[in-house]
Structure 1
């Protein structure tokens, strides 16, 4: 039973070693980006902050558009409700 505990501990140490190797500065998977499309090249560049900024701006504009649209619909419903109350009061 002690053998299995020692074996599991050795496996976890090996996993840590592979993580340190995968983040080495000479990462070989970066080769071939010259043939990739412009979106992949932009994402692989060092200027990732501009991509994050662009995505966040798109999200903010969509939320702003949705809020304005809902506000207009609520305003129309309020106007219809006020007009229906006026017509009910005039009929009585």
Structure 2
């Protein structure tokens, strides 16, 4: 899945990936799938899971890796996010 791929690329422990999955499930129990982009929510959950499990990764790294996964068929688009600094 997206979260497992994201976690492996970020080199976080399996427990951090599991925590991110739990966070996503809990979020979508109460919130609409139609109103919220699942990949954006998953990215945020991975970032927060890293903090909770004391295996944090910089926000920039989480966003860049997530963007690369989402746009893996278009490497040029994936490179654009590395040039932006709106998330710092």
TM-score by length of 2: 0.25
Q: Which has the larger radius of gyration?
A: 1
Larger fraction in helix:
1
